[in-house]
Structure 1
């Protein structure tokens, strides 16, 4: 299974090198850079120290949307204050979620934001799950390289051999479920409830395969019932 790490607009070459070194140490190999050329600076390779092949093979993108275009499930790191109404997972909870998701999706990604300002709200809306590192104090915070190391260490189990699974689910199942919920909220005239919409959108990302399939069945029955009522059927 593919699992790229995505750095959005990193400003310091040293942080990119530190991220590459942390990735190699924990068994990750695919790095994507969004809207930055800092990786080209000599300092990135110097700090990478033995992980130069990750820099040699990294991919660059103009936008986060482009970097996520071929990814089935994504997680973004952010400060709790940026999370709005959304569920906020610890690194350990992320590990649990991804160990389950890898049984039925083909690709996952972990997204890190800018050193000074993190990810924008628009960028956060593009991912499936938010996470952050709990700290005893708000300051000093971890720098980008340290944050990558924490998550690579926590998620190293994802690089172990996966036991065979009896059935693979449709990788687009969660996306389709979100769309069905959005249409239902519009149909029920409650789409303006931002808190509810955000809560549903985020909780969908936590569903296991069987829960997702069951909700699709439930929504199908609800949609059919609404259609029958609107057409006057009993």
Structure 2
């Protein structure tokens, strides 16, 4: 699976450059930038020493929605206590969560907010999972480039795995399942703002490959009309 890192509105050029260096040292090369010009500053290039290819290859977007359009599963990072998600996935648990979906994901994104305020709640709700880093001190957050380095380190095994030939798979199986579950909930009048829908879609990213296959079959069976419905 491809892993891309997304920086939303970073304001400090040095953080963009240092993030490029952090990604390359861990084997990652795909960076996406949203609503920023910080990458164009000289300081970004200086801090991206040895990784200017990552900086120059970064893709730019006007919105987070556009940056995630071709992503199967997105992971928002947040140190905030208040956000729409009931549960957080610690950074060190992400690698096994993603590895357990081998063959069902084509592209995963890890999303970071700006230095001053992190991801907004509107940004967070566009993500499938929310993750945090357990800190040993009460200070509320890490520097942006430091956070990128820690997530890249935790996920480095996925970068190594992406370099190996993969067996044939349905790489968009997870995304298709999410769409099926959303449609089924809507059909039973559970809109995206309902507690049941929010809880179901929040738990869905934690399903492994076997569970994803089972849920596909279950959704298909539930979606088929019964004999009584046909008459």
TM tier, smaller: 0.7 to 0.9
Distance in 1 (CA, whole Å) between partners of 2:24 and 2:42 is: 19
Distance in 2 (CA, whole Å) between partners of 1:185 and 1:229 is: 21
Aligned to 1:169: 170
Distance in 1 (CA, whole Å) between partners of 2:220 and 2:64 is: 32
How far 1:147 moved relative to its partner? Answer: 0.3
Over 3 Å counting, the alpha-carbon distance change for 1:41 and 1:164 in structure 2 is closer
How far 1:60 moved relative to its partner? Answer: 0.7
Q: Equivalent residues in 2 for 1:15-94 (5 A)? A: 15-94=15-94
Aligned to 2:8: 8
- Counterpart check, 1:179 vs 2:179: yes
How far 1:192 moved relative to its partner? Answer: 7.8
Shifted more, 216-225 versus 7-16: the winner is 216-225
Distance in 1 (CA, whole Å) between partners of 2:103 and 2:224 is: 31
Larger radius of gyration: 1
How far 1:186 moved relative to its partner? Answer: 3.7
Q: Note if contact 1:87-1:203 (Cα within 8 Å) is conserved in structure 2.
A: no
Which stretches in structure 1 are left out of the alignment for 5+ residues? none
Which stretches in structure 2 are left out of the alignment for 5+ residues? none
Matched position secondary structure for 2:3: coil
CA RMSD of aligned residues (A): 2.3
Aligned to 2:139: 139
Aligned to 1:108: 108
Superposed CA offset, 1:134-162 (max 9, x none): 11334152010110011111111112246
Aligned to 2:198: 198
Distance in 1 (CA, whole Å) between partners of 2:67 and 2:87 is: 23
Distance in 2 (CA, whole Å) between partners of 1:166 and 1:52 is: 32
Shifted more, 213-222 versus 173-182: the winner is 173-182
Matched position secondary structure for 1:36: coil
Q: TM-score, normalised by structure 2?
A: 0.88
Distance in 1 (CA, whole Å) between partners of 2:192 and 2:58 is: 41
Q: Note if contact 2:21-2:47 (Cα within 8 Å) is conserved in structure 1.
A: yes
